[in-house]
């Protein structure tokens, strides 16, 4: 098979949540810093066509790309680490694979053949893996296979990987297997047996890993590494430890120390053109670790049990905190527990309030209480998507005096639908992939706070919603002190609302958190953190 793109597969063993996405992102960062163009792809073994229909409680946040794909949150890590855009091609699910094979079968493309997992599903997986590399001509594609080796649903992916390795030739692909070496406190020992077993499972499926990355809480001795190498048929310098670190942004540095990039390049027959240059990354890390200030931001939402549900927002605060040399403590507040009576007690001490995105009625009153508290007490406020819609409804109720004002998502019969379903959404009945999704341009109002923050008038941001600000109320809002500071010029949709008399009050219909990266912190988050710091230091 002729190819100039090299393929790296990352699999996981022993347990889930070992951080395959972070290891893949860290390796990609190092290869990118060595001068290679790299992208990362995630294969997810579930039957949903995309995670857009998955509850954030189940699977964490749904990440949205520029081209409007609803994807796994690992793509957020890829973009934050690499400072590149990913696309729909970077996230493949079993649901999508089957959908495409079944569509072909219905069209008659298989010409009377029996359609089977092998070869039809595996062929489709291989096509998707290669497409991401060939379409945009990357030097290296890293494909992360979700789930744990040995799972029933991962099998077609492992088989596709086995075939592809055979077809590509050994110098064009590498398999990195991530496992866990647990420390048994009672025995005072690190145990390698789970790793040996998970490599055996891979071998049973016909795949010999080239590199093993071992998650561990204690340093692994040479002796342990050699033992793992001997029992798992890998070079002893290809047994790499990934020790627990305080922040995920330490991992590229650790992987560089362990020479993961050099070993990978060697196995792919690629020259190490230049030593991975990580100056800016280290500068960022230094700021994360040595903050000069500290602020607390309340993150108000209903998906508070699972920290991953607001992953991009919390990472955006790490980036924006570093840019301001400030530690941002994010205090998550369950909006279901928040009301006008306890809001002072729960939010009285914070330096900024963020009301997050979301769907449906549950916990909505707590969000209104948070908005009102921020508005009336001149506390920096950022509303994201539903958070902006809540800010609009709260303003309509308590400033314009429309006590029944609402979004038609919450109350179809409201007399004052200040937030209403978009015209383009009215006829849509299917839930999956049908929202207003992906990047849209937005024009900022001259002299608005947003324009000052972005330092430009034309911006583009990513969306994921069905409802919008109802423009029939625009004038009334403006007269009472809440203005549209950002508009989509083609559709007329309001994208940003501001209260100019307030210290810092911005609601955005889009999701700025999807675009914040280590090297490009998002201006709205840096501006918000700065305003919160200023308030803390002056009031």
Catalytic residues: 385, 511, 513
**Binding of residue 358 to ligand GLN (CB under 6 A):** yes
Report the residue number, 266 or 466, with the smaller CB distance to ligand GLN.
466
Minimum distance of ligand GLN from residue 405's CB (angstroms):
16
**Binding of residue 359 to ligand GLN (CB under 6 A):** yes
CA distance 81 to 95: 27
**Binding of residue 385 to ligand GLN (CB under 6 A):** yes
CA distance 405 to 418: 6
Using CB under 6 A as the binding criterion, the count of chain residues that bind ligand GLN stands at 10
Task: Mark the segment that binds ligand GLN (CB under 6 A) among 8-16, 150-158, 355-363, 530-538.
Answer: 355-363
Minimum distance of ligand GLN from residue 217's CB (angstroms):
37
Query: Are the C-beta atoms of 355 and 310 separated by less than 8 Å?
Result: no
Report the residue number, 454 or 510, with the smaller CB distance to ligand GLN.
510
Task: Mark the segment that binds ligand GLN (CB under 6 A) among 57-65, 121-129, 335-343, 357-365.
Answer: 357-365
Query: Are the C-beta atoms of 252 and 245 separated by less than 8 Å?
Result: no
Report the residue number, 286 or 434, with the smaller CB distance to ligand GLN.
434
Query: Are the C-beta atoms of 70 and 86 separated by less than 8 Å?
Result: no
Q: Coil, strand or helix: which one is 274?
A: coil
Minimum distance of ligand GLN from residue 464's CB (angstroms):
5
Report the residue number, 96 or 464, with the smaller CB distance to ligand GLN.
464
First-to-final CA distance of the chain = 67
**Binding of residue 228 to ligand GLN (CB under 6 A):** no
Q: Specify the residue for token string 């219909």.
A: 509
CA distance 453 to 530: 11
Query: Are the C-beta atoms of 483 and 477 separated by less than 8 Å?
Result: yes
Minimum distance of ligand GLN from residue 423's CB (angstroms):
13
Report the residue number, 115 or 428, with the smaller CB distance to ligand GLN.
428
Residue 131: phi and psi, rounded to 5, are -60, -40
**Binding of residue 410 to ligand GLN (CB under 6 A):** no
Burial label, 185 (beta-carbon count in 10 A; 0-12, 13-18, 19+): exposed
Task: List helix spans (H) across 169-310.
Answer: 193-204, 222-232, 251-257, 260-267, 279-289
Task: Mark the segment that binds ligand GLN (CB under 6 A) among 29-37, 201-209, 253-261, 458-466.
Answer: 458-466
Q: Coil, strand or helix: which one is 233?
A: coil
Report the residue number, 264 or 407, with the smaller CB distance to ligand GLN.
407
Task: List helix spans (H) across 108-154.
Answer: 122-136
Residue 79: phi and psi, rounded to 5, are -70, -40
DSSP state of 324: T
Minimum distance of ligand GLN from residue 391's CB (angstroms):
12
Report the residue number, 40 or 437, with the smaller CB distance to ligand GLN.
437
- Reported as half-sphere exposure (CB side, CA atoms, 13 A), residue 152 has a value of 1
Report the residue number, 301 or 321, with the smaller CB distance to ligand GLN.
301
CA distance 402 to 279: 54
Among 79, 210, 315, 409, binds ligand GLN (CB under 6 A): 409
**Binding of residue 464 to ligand GLN (CB under 6 A):** yes
Q: How far, rounded to the nearest angstrom, does the alpha carbon of residue 282 sit from its chain's CA centroid?
A: 22
| Pair of tokens at residue 448 | 């608005």
Q: Under rule CB under 6 A, which residues in 73-132 are in contact with ligand GLN? A: none
**Binding of residue 386 to ligand GLN (CB under 6 A):** yes
Among 165, 225, 302, 465, binds ligand GLN (CB under 6 A): 465
Among 231, 466, 474, 480, binds ligand GLN (CB under 6 A): 466
**Binding of residue 467 to ligand GLN (CB under 6 A):** yes
DSSP lists the bridge partners of residue 474 as none
Q: Specify the residue for token string 């590494």.
A: 225
Minimum distance of ligand GLN from residue 466's CB (angstroms):
4
Task: List helix spans (H) across 268-310.
Answer: 279-289
CA dihedral 262, 268, 271, 277 (to 10 degrees): -40
| Pair of tokens at residue 167 | 């077809």
Query: Are the C-beta atoms of 350 and 296 separated by less than 8 Å?
Result: yes
Q: Under rule CB under 6 A, which residues in 411-450 are in contact with ligand GLN? A: none
**Binding of residue 502 to ligand GLN (CB under 6 A):** no
Minimum distance of ligand GLN from residue 360's CB (angstroms):
7
Q: Which of 328, 245, 257, 251 is nearest to 288 (CA)?
A: 328
Task: Mark the segment that binds ligand GLN (CB under 6 A) among 175-183, 346-354, 364-372, 461-469.
Answer: 461-469
Task: Mark the segment that binds ligand GLN (CB under 6 A) among 77-85, 229-237, 299-307, 460-468.
Answer: 460-468
Minimum distance of ligand GLN from residue 34's CB (angstroms):
38
Query: Are the C-beta atoms of 357 and 313 separated by less than 8 Å?
Result: no
Query: Are the C-beta atoms of 444 and 418 separated by less than 8 Å?
Result: no
Minimum distance of ligand GLN from residue 92's CB (angstroms):
24
Q: How far, rounded to the nearest angstrom, does the alpha carbon of residue 55 sit from its chain's CA centroid?
A: 15
Task: Mark the segment that binds ligand GLN (CB under 6 A) among 114-122, 335-343, 352-360, 495-503.
Answer: 352-360
Among 357, 367, 503, 515, binds ligand GLN (CB under 6 A): 357
Query: Are the C-beta atoms of 142 and 174 separated by less than 8 Å?
Result: no
Report the residue number, 157 or 528, with the smaller CB distance to ligand GLN.
528
Report the residue number, 321 or 387, with the smaller CB distance to ligand GLN.
387
Task: Mark the segment that binds ligand GLN (CB under 6 A) among 46-54, 73-81, 295-303, 462-470.
Answer: 462-470
Minimum distance of ligand GLN from residue 363's CB (angstroms):
12
| Pair of tokens at residue 102 | 């079944």
Q: List residues near ligand GLN by CB under 6 A.
A: 357-359, 385-386, 409, 464-467
């Amino acid at each position: 098979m002729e190819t100039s793109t090299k393929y790296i597969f990352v699999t996981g063993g022993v347990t889930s949540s070992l951080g395959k996405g972070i290891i893949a992102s860290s390796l990609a960062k190092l290869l990118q810093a060595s001068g290679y163009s790299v992208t990362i792809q995630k294969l997810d073994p579930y039957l949903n066509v995309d995670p857009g229909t998955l509850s954030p409680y189940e699977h964490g946040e749904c990440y949205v790309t520029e081209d409007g794909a609803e994807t796994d949150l690992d793509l957020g890590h890829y973009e934050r680490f690499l400072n590149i855009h990913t696309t729909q091609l970077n996230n493949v699910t079993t649901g999508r694979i089957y959908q495409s094979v079944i569509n072909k079968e219905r069209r008659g493309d298989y010409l009377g053949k029996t359609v089977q997992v092998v070869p039809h599903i595996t062929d489709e997986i291989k096509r998707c893996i290669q497409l991401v590399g060939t379409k945009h001509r990357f030097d290296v594609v890293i494909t992360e296979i979700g789930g744990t080796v040995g799972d029933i649903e991962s099998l077609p992916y492992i088989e596709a990987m086995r075939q592809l390795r055979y077809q590509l030739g050994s110098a064009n692909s590498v398999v990195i297997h991530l496992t866990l070496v647990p420390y048994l406190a009672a025995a005072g020992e690190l145990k390698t047996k789970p790793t040996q077993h998970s490599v055996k499972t891979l071998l049973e499926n016909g795949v010999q890993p080239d590199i093993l990355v071992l998650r561990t809480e204690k340093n692994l001795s040479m002796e342990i590494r050699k033992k793992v190498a001997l029992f798992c048929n890998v070079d002893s310098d290809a047994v790499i430890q990934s020790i627990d670190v305080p922040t995920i942004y330490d991992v590229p540095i650790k992987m560089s120390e362990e020479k993961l990039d050099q070993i990978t390049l060697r196995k792919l027959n690629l020259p190490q053109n230049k030593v991975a240059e990580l100056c800016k990354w280290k500068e960022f890390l230094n700021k994360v670790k040595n903050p000069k200030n500290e602020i607390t931001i309340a993150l108000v939402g209903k998906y508070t049990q699972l920290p991953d549900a607001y992953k991009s927002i919390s990472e955006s605060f790490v980036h924006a905190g570093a840019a301001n040399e400030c530690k941002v403590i994010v205090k998550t507040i369950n909006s279901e527990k928040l009301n006008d009576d306890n809001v002072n007690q729960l939010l009285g001490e914070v330096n900024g309030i963020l009301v997050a995105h979301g769907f449906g009625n549950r916990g909505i009153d707590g969000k209104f209480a948070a908005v009102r508290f921020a508005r009336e007490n001149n506390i920096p406020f950022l509303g994201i998507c539903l958070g902006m819609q809540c800010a609009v409804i709260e303003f309509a109720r308590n400033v314009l005096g429309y006590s029944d004002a609402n979004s038609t998502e919450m109350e179809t019969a409201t007399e004052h639908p200040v937030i209403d379903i978009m015209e383009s959404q009215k006829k849509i009945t299917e839930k999956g992939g049908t929202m207003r999704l992906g990047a849209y341009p937005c024009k900022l109002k001259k002299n608005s706070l947003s324009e000052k923050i972005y330092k430009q008038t034309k911006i583009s941001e990513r969306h994921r919603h069905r409802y919008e600000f109802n423009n029939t109320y625009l004038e009334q809002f403006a007269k009472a002190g809440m203005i549209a500071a950002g508009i989509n010029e083609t559709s007329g949709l309001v994208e940003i609302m501001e209260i100019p008399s307030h210290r810092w009050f911005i609601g955005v219909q889009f999701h700025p958190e999807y675009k914040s990266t280590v090297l490009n912190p998002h201006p709205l988050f840096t501006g918000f953190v700065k305003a919160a710091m200023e308030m803390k230091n002056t009031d």
